Amino acid sequence: MPEGVLAYHINEKKAASEYEKYDHVRERFSYFIAVQVFLVYLIFLYYDSINEYHPLLAGALLAGQTSCLAQTLNQFYHRSISISKHIKFYIWGVMNGMATTLWIKMLMTKVDTQSMRFVYDQTFGGLVFQFLFILYNCIWERQDLLTHMKTTYIQSLKYYYMMWPFVSYLCFFHIPNHLIFPINCLCNLIFTVLLTLLT
């Protein structure tokens, strides 16, 4: 076989193997991630305006979108697409965003000292919000709550207390009040991605 023809066949085989390695799922995810990052950026950009219009709407939009982005990154890492999980986590993000907005507002208006806000947030707040997520997940997946309370709840609290006390301290002692919720959403996104890598 002439050398030129042999080189052509080698290059053709190399190109075919590189095409086989090409990951179409990851490419689609990349576009989806880019769109979601852009949406999160827009909501962050106009957060104050949306918040003036209605605080619960601002909380719902930002938390819903960051929760959905976290799920997309999770699925990108595991190379599995699930529209159902995107819907589930978007709905959870919206509900959690509204509940967290009300929780932060209550702490800022009803609790006088920063120290007590931190204590309430890391005791009552942390325990209740983790429980609500387990409850929501069990209802969505039609699973037994008691079983998950014994296993998943304790495990989730362990991971929760590895990061959130630092976030709570930062929010209540060093961050301006109007930025607490957006910082919370950003940290929630980071926390979810870290959990994906750890578990």
Mean pLDDT by 10 residues, the chain (199 residues): 50 50 68 90 92 93 94 85 88 95 95 95 93 90 83 85 92 91 90 71
Q: Name the DSSP class of 113.
A: S
SS3 category, 177? helix
Per-residue confidence (pLDDT) for residue 181, from 0 to 100: 93
Rounded Cα distance, 42 and 188, in Å? 18
CB 193 within 8 A of CB 73: yes
CB 131 within 8 A of CB 153: yes
Q: Which of 75, 53, 76, 42 is nearest to 182 (CA)?
A: 42
Mention every residue, 6+ apart, whose C-beta is less than 8 A from residue 190.
Answer: none
SS3 category, 146? helix
Rounded Cα distance, 199 and 191, in Å? 12
Per-residue confidence (pLDDT) for residue 94, from 0 to 100: 95
Domain count for the chain, please give it: 1
Rounded to 5°, the CA angle 191-57-138 comes to: 50
Other C-beta atoms closer than 10 Å to the C-beta of 42 total 12
Q: Tokens in use for 190?
A: 């980071």
Per-residue confidence (pLDDT) for residue 16, from 0 to 100: 47
Per-residue confidence (pLDDT) for residue 8, from 0 to 100: 46
- Residue 148: give the domain boundaries: 3-198
Per-residue confidence (pLDDT) for residue 2, from 0 to 100: 54
